[in-house]
Amino acid sequence: MKLKQSKGGFTLLEIIIVIIIVGVLASLALPRFFATVEFSKSAEALTALGVLRDSVERCYTAAGGTYNPSPTPCGVGSIDVEDPGLSPGARFTYAVSGQSATGYVITAARNTVDGGGGTTNWITVTQTSTGVTRAGSGAFVGIK
């Protein structure tokens, strides 16, 4: 009597096909994953932009209703909070510019910490006499 031999397991060809399929799926998913991770780092910038905006508004009130008091306009060096870009591990650098009697622009530029894209990735908050707007570029283009 002949015993039937069981051939369990996978062939080399089946394993190679599975590896190729997993590789293709990973190549499609990983760039989107890394972009999402980079976009999530914008939470740090948005929090700091809010703190800086509040401080510039306090400077506006103290200066008698102008964002551009003489001799020092309301900016990162002249407001009542420290520059958040100087904290250890900060992923952004911050600047206040364009101060006038009615407005200013605060910019958070991504630095190269944790593989950041540098100054091509930034977020701005713009205050004008008509309101406040947010915008982004690079990895942060979806910020509104």
Rounded CA-CA distance 135/144 in Å is 6
Quote the number of domains for the chain.
Answer: 1
140-to-29, 32, 95, 128 alpha-carbon distances in Å: 19, 14, 17, 22
Task: Print pLDDT tens along the chain (144 aa).
Answer: 566 676 778 889 999 999 999 999 999 999 888 888 888 888 889 999 999 999 999 988 888 888 888 888 888 777 888 889 888 888 899 999 988 888 999 999 988 877 766 668 889 999 998 999 999 988 888 887
pTM summary value: 0.76
Can you give the pLDDT at residue 112? 81
Rounded CA-CA distance 1/103 in Å is 95
φ, ψ (nearest 5 deg) of residue 120: -75, -15
Q: Is residue 105 part of a domain?
A: yes
Q: Is residue 30 part of a domain?
A: no
Q: Is residue 17 part of a domain?
A: no
Q: Closest by alpha carbon to 99, among 130, 136, 134, 59?
A: 59
Q: Is residue 94 part of a domain?
A: yes
Q: Is residue 9 part of a domain?
A: no
Contacts of residue 72, defined as CB under 8 A and 6 or more positions apart, other chains included, come to 78
Report which residue type is found at 59: C
48: domain range? 38-140
Q: Is residue 22 part of a domain?
A: no
Contacts of residue 76, defined as CB under 8 A and 6 or more positions apart, other chains included, come to 52, 83, 94, 95, 96
Q: Is residue 2 part of a domain?
A: no
